[in-house]
Chains A and B, each alone.
Chain A
Amino acid sequence: KAGVTQTPRYLIKTRGQQVTLSCSPISGHRSVSWYQQTPGQGLQFLFEYFSETQRNKGNFPGRFSGRQFSNSRSEMNVSTLELGDSALYLCASSLAGVVTDTQYFGPGTRLTVL
């Protein structure tokens, strides 16, 4: 069974631009979560989608948004990029999105904002 895939793996953008990241979950998984990982803050929860609906949201500004498609693939968008948005963005999929489910993480997208 294929794992979670994320594209692109690396991205360089400049301040003020916007970016879209993509995540394909494991087949059959309906929940996709997004995280931001930085050396200082660690892994921080952005949001979680289940059956095309955002069910949970972390404490990030509205510049961070996402969506999920009917095939469970998910995209995350960051608008008006800031230098502080440079981070590793990880998505994780799970079967039903309950807290006892195992989360399977993708390799991440490394975003650098110049």
Chain B
Amino acid sequence: DAGVIQSPRHEVTEMGQEVTLRCKPISGHDYLFWYRQTMMRGLELLIYFNNNVPIDDSGMPEDRFSAKMPNASFSTLKIQPSEPRDSAVYFCASSSHRDRVSGANVLTFGAGSRLTVL
């Protein structure tokens, strides 16, 4: 398995532009998580899906952020309009309910998308 695949790896954009980050989870995983990592706030959970359905989006900073999971193999995180304070590394992670039989909920992370908003 290729693991969790994220694109783009790096994105530089100007304030006000729309940004779309993409994630392909591990095949067979039914949970998908979006995290944001910054120096100031560390790793924050933004939203997670179970079987393509958003379960908890309480970490989404504001209405400028939206996430979708149209099918089991693809998810997007969109920021519109982007602002300089959105600059961060955005991680996607997935896990399987089969892992959760033991209760351990082992997340596999992608390599991240580094976003810079000028």
Is the pairing of A and B real? no
Residues of A within 8 A of B (CB): none
